[in-house]
């Protein structure tokens, strides 16, 4: 119907024309034109059986790799040095990681780059703090906490005391002029921050191919501004250099600075230089930037400038933005004392809360296993709660909801997976052991078996949609529905107690469902356990 709109023709007629040239006899019993211009396909049951059977023999898992792989850069997480990673960074990290995994599985060449904020005016204040007020013991035990304290201290003092403000400016100028003492302190601040970021990334199971921070592009900034000025793209504006967008209605009222009046480059200049470097280095077909929605204007401006600067370059630039995490009161999520919630503490609490549930439900497991399950469930729950809502809407952070064993949650899906694994374990332990032998014939007869198989066939389609619309929530909902289809199948169809041929066919269906569930959760960055 949308094609008919483009072609300005009658949708029913167009549907008939498609039908006349369509040959899907191998897959479908019949295809009919229905209603206003729908095409109804009736997939043949043998095809469903064949697909499930092929999957059970390891020939595929209901998706295909792209015949046209592209190089795609995913720029995500990108926290700032000397500041703790907070809940806002978790969304970028979790979304970006999921998109990278999906695109990689679909066969694309994915390059992940953590664009760390390791340069900027905050270092002037940090240097004043470091030189005058550093508490070495505090730095040893919680480096980012101590650097944050120093920053806040000097920032507050600079608001009332112009001498402090001046000192910070001078330290910054010295740093920018490569003063060796300031450079050494700055490097140490980066190394200490990186160590703490790495702890979080390893807990989240996230890794990057590159972590080229903003400072990496410093040597390119002068030339970038110069080129923009020389080509007439940037103009003088009260001592600064700005790009005006007279011809872009949306941006008309929002010129972008590329050099401040003190001569310093800024976030936009750095992003322009970064993009140029990425084009030279990886020649990507697409670059995905994952940040919160407040940066929308920045990305619109910077994409528009780049297109004017390099009209010859053909690259798809996408800003994948997301909303805020809210507390129960509907205001930005904060701790009881009103501070921003630190990511490390949030993950600790998730694991503690999950452990309380595991201790209750799995008292028979040893201590080590219970802790491991709590880790997988706690971290999985936080990630899933982040990925499930439409990314552009704000969501309310709620521990009880995300850790519930029923409803659309990670623990529910992880539990569903363990149930399938337990069925397969029982099958292997029984006196009629089961293996995926090549002569198992998958025969799907009951309605619930067929619905489950059809849903499995959609896996690849959903992955493609996640990758092209940058929406992991499609995959969350797909997996939730998969678990539902499986539960209905298992309620209706005896597996272990049915006679041999049927038992084997149904075990194969269980096994591939388990594999899709595990693969799907894995793409969301969520681990599974064999028991819980």
Q: Which residues bind ligand ARG (CB under 6 A)?
A: 75, 78-80, 115, 117, 271, 289, 291
Phi-psi region of 454 (alpha: psi -120 to 50; beta: other; left: phi over 0): alpha
Residue 276 or 528: the one with the smaller Cβ distance to ligand ARG is 276
Closer Cβ to ligand ARG, 77 or 513, answer by number = 77
CB of 297 vs ligand ARG, minimal distance in Å: 12
Q: Which is nearer to ligand ARG, 75 or 511 (CB)?
A: 75
Give the pair of three-digit tokens for residue 31. Answer: 């295809």
CB of 295 to ligand ARG, least distance (A): 7
Nearer to ligand ARG, 89 or 455 (CB): 89
CA distances from 183 to 42, 131, 279, 338 (A): 68, 13, 29, 34
- To ligand ARG, the closest distance from the beta carbon of 80 in angstroms equals 5
* Three-state secondary structure call for residue 438: coil
User: By C-beta, is 193 or 409 nearer to ligand ARG?
Assistant: 193
Classified as helix, coil or strand, 12 is helix
Please state the φ and ψ torsions of residue 286, each to the nearest 5 degrees. Answer: -155, 145
Q: Tokens for 377, please give them.
A: 């469930």
- CA atoms of 436 and 442, how far apart (whole Å): 11
Min. distance of Cβ 111 from ligand ARG in angstroms? 13
Hunting for tokens 């009629």 — which residue is that?
Answer: 432
Look up tokens 């050099």; give the residue.
259
Longest Cα–Cα distance of the chain, Å, equals: 86
Residue with tokens 């064999």: 530
**Closest distance to ligand ARG from the beta carbon of 30 (Å):** 51
57's tokens: 């023999």
Q: Are 498 and 489 in contact (CB under 8 A)?
A: no
Nearer to ligand ARG, 113 or 527 (CB): 113
* Listed residue (322, 319, 343) closest to 333, CA to CA: 343
Contact 268, 305 (CB under 8 A): yes
* Chain mean position to CA 384: 11
Helix H or strand E segment including 237: strand 234-237
Place of tokens 């491991």: 372
Smallest CA-to-CA distance from 383 within 210, 205, 199 is with: 205
State the minimum distance, in angstroms, from the CB of residue 136 to ligand ARG: 28
Considering the complex, what minimum distance in angstroms separates the CB of residue 91 from ligand ARG?
Answer: 12
The residue (of 74 and 410) whose beta carbon lies closer to ligand ARG is: 74
Closest CB to ligand ARG among residues 117, 472: 117
- Least separation in angstroms between residue 79's CB and ligand ARG is 6
Smallest distance from the beta carbon of 291 to ligand ARG, in angstroms? 5
Query: CA–CA distance from 375 to each of 47, 205, 370, 414, 526 (Å)?
Result: 40, 12, 9, 12, 11
- Nearest approach, Cβ of 277 to ligand ARG (angstroms)? 11
Nearer to ligand ARG, 75 or 97 (CB): 75
- Distance of closest approach, residue 209 Cβ to ligand ARG, in angstroms: 15
Contact (CB, 8 A) for 374 and 354: yes
User: Cβ of residue 270: shortest distance to ligand ARG, in angstroms?
Assistant: 8
Measured from the CB of residue 421, what is the shortest distance to ligand ARG in angstroms? 39
Instruction: Give the Cα separation of 499 and 438 in Å (integer).
Output: 18
Q: How far is CA 275 from CA 73, 90, 228, 283, 322, in A?
A: 10, 24, 14, 10, 22
> Smallest gap, in angstroms, from Cβ of residue 467 to ligand ARG?
20
Beta bridge partners of 288: 74, 318
User: Is the Cβ of residue 76 or residue 395 nearer to ligand ARG in the bound state?
Assistant: 76
H-helix or E-strand spanning residue 469: helix 459-469
Enumerate residues 6+ apart whose C-beta is below 8 A from 55.
61, 62, 456, 512, 515
Secondary structure letter of residue 333 according to DSSP? P
90 vs 377 by CB, closer to ligand ARG: 90
Nearer to ligand ARG, 79 or 467 (CB): 79
Considering only CA atoms, which of 264, 315, 314 is closest in space to residue 288? 315
Q: Please say whether the beta carbons of 305 and 274 come within 8 A.
A: no
> Among residues 78 and 224, whose Cβ is nearest to ligand ARG?
78
Distance (Å, whole) CA 167 – CA 170: 5
């Amino acid at each position: 119907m949308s094609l008919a709109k483009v072609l300005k023709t009658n949708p029913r007629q167009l549907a008939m024309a498609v039908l006349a040239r369509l040959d899907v006899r191998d897959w479908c019993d019949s295809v009919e034109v229905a209603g206003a211009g729908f095409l109804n396909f009736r997939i043949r049951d043998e095809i469903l059986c064949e697909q499930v059977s092929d999957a059970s023999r390891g020939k595929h898992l209901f998706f295909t790799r792209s015949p046209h792989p592209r190089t795609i850069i995913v720029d995500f997480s990108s926290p700032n040095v000397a500041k703790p990673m907070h809940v806002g960074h978790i969304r970028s990290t979790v979304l970006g990681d999921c998109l990278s995994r999906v695109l990689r599985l679909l066969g694309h060449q994915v390059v992940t780059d953590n664009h760390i904020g390791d340069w900027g005016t905050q270092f002037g204040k940090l240097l004043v703090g470091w030189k005058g007020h550093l508490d070495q013991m505090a730095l040893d035990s919680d480096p980012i906490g101590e650097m944050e304290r120093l920053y806040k201290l000097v920032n507050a003092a600079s608001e009332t005391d112009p001498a402090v403000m001046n000192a910070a400016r001078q330290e910054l100028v010295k740093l920018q002029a490569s003063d060796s003492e300031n450079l050494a302190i700055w490097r140490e601040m980066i190394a200490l921050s990186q160590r703490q970021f790495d702890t979080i990334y390893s807990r989240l199971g996230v890794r990057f191919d590159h972590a080229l921070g903003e400072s990496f592009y410093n040597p390119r900034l002068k030339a970038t501004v110069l080129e923009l000025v020389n080509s007439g793209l940037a103009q003088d504006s009260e001592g600064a250099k700005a790009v005006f967008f007279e011809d872009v209605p949306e941006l008309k009222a929002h010129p972008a600075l590329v050099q401040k009046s003190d001569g310093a480059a800024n976030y936009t200049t750095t992003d322009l230089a970064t993009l140029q470097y990425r084009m030279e280095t990886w020649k990507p077909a697409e670059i995905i930037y994952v940040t919160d929605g407040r940066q929308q204007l920045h990305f619109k401006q910077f994409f528009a400038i780049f297109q004017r600067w390099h009209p010859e370059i053909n690259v798809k630039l996408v800003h994948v933005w997301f909303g805020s995490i809210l507390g129960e009161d509907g205001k930005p999520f904060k701790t009881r004392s009103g501070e921003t919630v630190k990511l490390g503490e949030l993950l600790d609490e998730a694991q503690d809360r999950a452990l309380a549930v595991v201790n209750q439900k799995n008292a028979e497991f040893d201590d080590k296993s219970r802790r491991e399950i709590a880790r997988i469930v706690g971290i999985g729950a936080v990630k899933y709660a982040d990925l499930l809502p439409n990314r552009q809407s704000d969501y309310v952070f709620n521990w009880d909801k995300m850790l519930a064993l029923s409803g659309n949650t990670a623990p529910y899906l992880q539990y569903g997976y363990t149930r399938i694994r337990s069925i397969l374990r029982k099958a292997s332990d029984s006196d009629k052991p089961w293996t995926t032998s090549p002569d198992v014939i998958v025969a799907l007869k009951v309605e619930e078996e067929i619905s489950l198989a059809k849903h499995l066939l959609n896996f690849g389609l959903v992955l493609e949609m996640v990758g092209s619309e940058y929406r992991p929530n499609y995959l969350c909902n797909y997996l939730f529905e998969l678990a539902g289809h499986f539960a209905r199948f298992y309620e209706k169809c005896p597996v272990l107690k049915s006679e041999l041929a049927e038992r084997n066919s149904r075990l194969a269906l269980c096994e591939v469902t388990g594999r899709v569930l595990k693969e799907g959760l894995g793409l969301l960055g969520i681990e599974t356990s064999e028991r819980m």
